[in-house]
Amino acid sequence: MIIGSGTYKVFYKVSAVNNSYKESILSDYAWTNYDPEMQKISIKKYDYSLSECYPNPFNPTTKIKYVVGSKQNVESAEQFVTLKVFDLLGREVAVLVNEPKQAGEYELEFTADKYGLSSGIYFYQLVSGSFVSTKKFILAK
């Protein structure tokens, strides 16, 4: 699959062989990018994560970074991701992301004024498949 100027996406499976030449079962599909001009394969695996926002406390904006984990097989090239903000009582006050995403690193700017939020403690939560992570942030006006 060509993914840019001469760069290809290469899919592969891996197995192991022990000293008795017995082979393990094949892994799930993995992928990497290959650039024939550079004659180089770049492998980058992503693990799910949700970072602490910066700055925290904030007024009126903060940056939220998150990582969507690498795909386990070709058929699930994208994972559905939600990133929501909740108040101290657990009420949803903002939906920042609600769509399928490719594996990779993402950053967004959260502006509290856009959602009419007052000073206080809030939580932001990333959910994708079985991965769930929640962090606290403070809006100080």
| The amino acid at 38 | M
Banded model confidence at residue 1, pLDDT cuts 50, 70, 90: very low
Chain centre to alpha carbon of residue 42 = 19
- Spatial distance between the Cα atoms of 98 and 76, rounded to a whole number of angstroms: 17
Distance CA 101, CA 41 (A): 23
User: Hey, what CATH class is 49-139 in?
Assistant: mainly beta
Domain spans in the chain, listed from the N-terminal domain onward? 8-42, 49-139
Q: Which of 16-25, 51-60, 80-89, 96-105 shows the lowest mean pLDDT across its residues?
A: 16-25
Sheet holding 61-68, edge to edge: 49-50, 61-68, 104-111
**What is residue 39's three-state secondary structure?**
coil
Mean pLDDT across the chain: 81
- Given a contact cutoff of 8 angstroms between Cβ atoms, the answer to whether 34 and 51 are in contact is no
Residues 6+ apart with CB under 8 A from 122: 85, 86, 87, 88, 93, 136, 137, 138, 139
| Low-confidence winner among 15-19, 105-109, 126-130 (lowest mean pLDDT) | 15-19
Q: Confirm whether pTM is higher than 0.85.
A: no
The fraction of the chain above a pLDDT of 90, given in percent, is 50
